[in-house]
């Protein structure tokens, strides 16, 4: 008996956070084996992370076995939970995802704009492969994906496979929740927010403090000058308070890519000219982190990991797994099939939505229609995600071109076509569906 967890992309710099999360929850989530799996190219990092994880577990004094493997199929046998945090093409690919679009003055990063689109094209086929393995080797396992772009990946899974035990996860709602708690100066346990939308395009619709609806107070707090709820990895430009007032919901920070695209683009180009891409900065941070991780005296997650961005990921993932395992019935925000949870989005598409989590997975709360103020941009991005998922699966260049051009951050079909071809060529190795047919 005992739980078996398999983390694909186990050599990620994030893994210590995940390991810490599992250690903290050992009482309620007694993992017997944690398999860290990576590919040949990530072998060295996997070893470093694996050694650190073993020291962490030993320090914590719990009987959780850490297993390392380069053979995904071997690892998956009889798994209970699989987590995916992989990056197809590693940071080198991310550098291209950021550098090429910006060189054509296209805003974005690895989940938005042309960069997000390309990460989607590369990632979706790999996730579908993993699912085929799971269907063979551990068909009852839950796959918890926090590989970006999580929205498109989850869309592809629910529309192009029959695998249902899949949940797409993101730390943005947790970050928004904590941000609002700080603004209102209340403990996280006291505040509930109804979240609905898409991955990286999610909104806080209602706010309950100790069960009482405090939407008015929450919206007022968002209009305060100190309200830059922000994420470490995107610029925290403040919203115009009157715009937020009119919007009457809490937007996630990534909405800045759309509602501040002009300002963001200028800053991103400036940043890029001065400091290169975010990917290049991350690469440096990672190099330092792995230096730290190697230290045999390090037996806990180092503080410096927080700089890396992606805080709360481990929390989100561990909480979700614990709730499924223990059939808790608490409310968490996940990416799953809509099926009418948000009435004015397609029934057969994926949404990010507050859901009751049980052994059966995620059951969305009914959210009704998204308000008129936000449905437009959400519907547009949903179209982009649907078409991108279809393009990734089919490897059809025309479909891909259309999908890319529908993204509002792409300035014209003329440029879209140039960027598409430049990136297809550049990422060719990781796009077998486009080149092997």
From candidates 33, 51, 135, 373, binder to a second copy by CB under 8 A: 373
Q: How far is the CB of 62 from a second copy (least distance, A)?
A: 25
- CA-closest candidate to residue 221, choices 202, 201, 199, 193: 193
- CA-closest candidate to residue 145, choices 125, 122, 124, 166: 166
132 SS3 class? helix
63 binds a second copy (CB under 8 A): no
397 binds a second copy (CB under 8 A): yes
In this structure, what token pair is assigned to residue 424?
């297809």
Closer residue to a second copy, CB minimum distance, 215 or 299: 215
* Range 299-338, binding a second copy (CB under 8 A): 327, 329-331
From candidates 64, 152, 381, 392, binder to a second copy by CB under 8 A: 381
Indicate which residue of 254, 258, 293, 313 is catalytic.
254
383 binds a second copy (CB under 8 A): yes
Q: How far is the CB of 140 from a second copy (least distance, A)?
A: 10
Q: Phi, psi at residue 433, to the nearest 5°?
A: -60, -30
Q: How far is the CB of 431 from a second copy (least distance, A)?
A: 17
* Range 204-223, binding a second copy (CB under 8 A): 208, 210-213
Inter-axis angle of helices 90-103 and 278-294, nearest 10: 160
163 binds a second copy (CB under 8 A): no
The answer to whether 34 and 66 have CB atoms below 8 angstroms apart is yes
**Known active-site residue 254:** yes
Closer residue to a second copy, CB minimum distance, 243 or 306: 243
Closer residue to a second copy, CB minimum distance, 292 or 415: 415
Closer residue to a second copy, CB minimum distance, 191 or 282: 191
- CA-closest candidate to residue 383, choices 416, 406, 353: 406
From candidates 117, 158, 195, 239, binder to a second copy by CB under 8 A: 239
340 binds a second copy (CB under 8 A): yes
Dihedral, CA of residue 270, residue 272, residue 273 and residue 275, to nearest 10 = 110
The answer to whether 5 and 35 have CB atoms below 8 angstroms apart is yes
94 binds a second copy (CB under 8 A): no
382 binds a second copy (CB under 8 A): yes
Q: Cα separations (Å) of 436 from 117, 213, 214, 394, 428?
A: 20, 55, 55, 11, 10
* Range 402-421, binding a second copy (CB under 8 A): 402-403, 405-406, 408, 411-417
From candidates 264, 320, 322, 423, binder to a second copy by CB under 8 A: 264
The answer to whether 252 and 179 have CB atoms below 8 angstroms apart is no
- In this structure, how many other beta carbons lie within 10 angstroms of the beta carbon of residue 164? 12
In this structure, what token pair is assigned to residue 397?
């260049």
Applying CB under 8 A, the site for a second copy has a residue count of: 72
From candidates 387, 392, 419, 431, binder to a second copy by CB under 8 A: 387
274 binds a second copy (CB under 8 A): no
Closer residue to a second copy, CB minimum distance, 259 or 435: 259
Dihedral, CA of residue 357, residue 359, residue 362 and residue 364, to nearest 10 = -70
- Rounded Cα distance between 29 and 46, Å, is 24
From candidates 26, 163, 259, 272, binder to a second copy by CB under 8 A: 259
225 binds a second copy (CB under 8 A): no
The answer to whether 195 and 374 have CB atoms below 8 angstroms apart is no
Pairing between strand 350-358 and 65-69? unpaired
Active site residues: 254
């Amino acid at each position: 008996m005992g739980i078996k967890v398999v983390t694909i992309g186990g050599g990620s710099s994030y893994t210590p956070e995940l390991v810490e999360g599992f250690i903290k929850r050992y009482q309620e989530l007694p993992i017997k084996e944690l398999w860290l799996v990576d590919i040949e190219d990530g072998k060295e990092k996997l070893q470093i992370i694996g050694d650190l994880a073993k020291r962490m577990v030993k320090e914590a004094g719990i009987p959780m076995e850490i297993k390392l493997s380069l053979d995904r199929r071997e690892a998956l046998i009889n798994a209970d939970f699989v987590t995916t945090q992989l990056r197809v093409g590693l940071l080198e690919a991310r550098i291209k995802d950021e550098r090429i679009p910006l060189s054509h003055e296209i805003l974005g990063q690895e989940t938005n704009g042309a960069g997000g689109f390309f990460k989607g094209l590369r990632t979706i086929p790999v996730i579908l492969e993993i699912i085929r393995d799971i269907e063979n080797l551990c068909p009852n396992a839950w796959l918890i994906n926090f590989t970006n772009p999580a929205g498109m990946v989850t869309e592809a899974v629910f529309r192009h496979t029959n695998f249902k035990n899949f949940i797409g996860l993101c730390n943005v709602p947790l970050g928004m929740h904590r941000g609002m708690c700080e603004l209102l100066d209340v403990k996280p346990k006291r505040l509930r927010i109804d979240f609905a939308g898409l991955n990286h395009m999610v909104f806080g619709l209602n706010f309950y403090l100790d069960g009482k609806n405090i939407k008015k107070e929450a919206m007022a707090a968002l209009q305060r000058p100190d309200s830059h709820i922000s994420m470490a990895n995107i610029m925290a430009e403040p919203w115009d308070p009157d715009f937020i007032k009119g919007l009457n919901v809490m937007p996630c920070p990534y909405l800045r890519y759309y509602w501040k695209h002009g300002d963001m683009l200028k800053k991103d180009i400036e940043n890029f000219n001065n400091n290169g891409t975010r990917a290049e900065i991350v690469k440096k941070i990672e190099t330092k982190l792995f230096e730290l991780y190697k230290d045999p005296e390090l037996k806990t997650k180092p503080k410096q990991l927080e700089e890396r961005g992606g805080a709360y990921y481990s929390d989100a993932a561990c909480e979700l797994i614990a709730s499924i395992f223990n059939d808790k019935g608490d409310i968490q925000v996940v990416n799953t099939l809509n099926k009418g949870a948000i009435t004015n989005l397609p029934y057969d598409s994926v949404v990010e939505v507050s859901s009751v989590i049980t052994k059966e997975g995620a059951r969305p709360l009914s959210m009704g229609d998204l308000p008129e103020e936000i449905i437009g941009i959400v519907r547009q991005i949903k179209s982009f995600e649907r078409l991108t998922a279809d393009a990734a699966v089919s490897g059809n260049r025309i479909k891909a071109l259309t999908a890319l051009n529908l993204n509002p951050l792409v300035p014209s079909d003329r440029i879209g076509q140039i960027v598409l071809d430049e990136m297809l060529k550049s990422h060719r190795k990781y796009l077998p569906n486009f080149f092997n047919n």
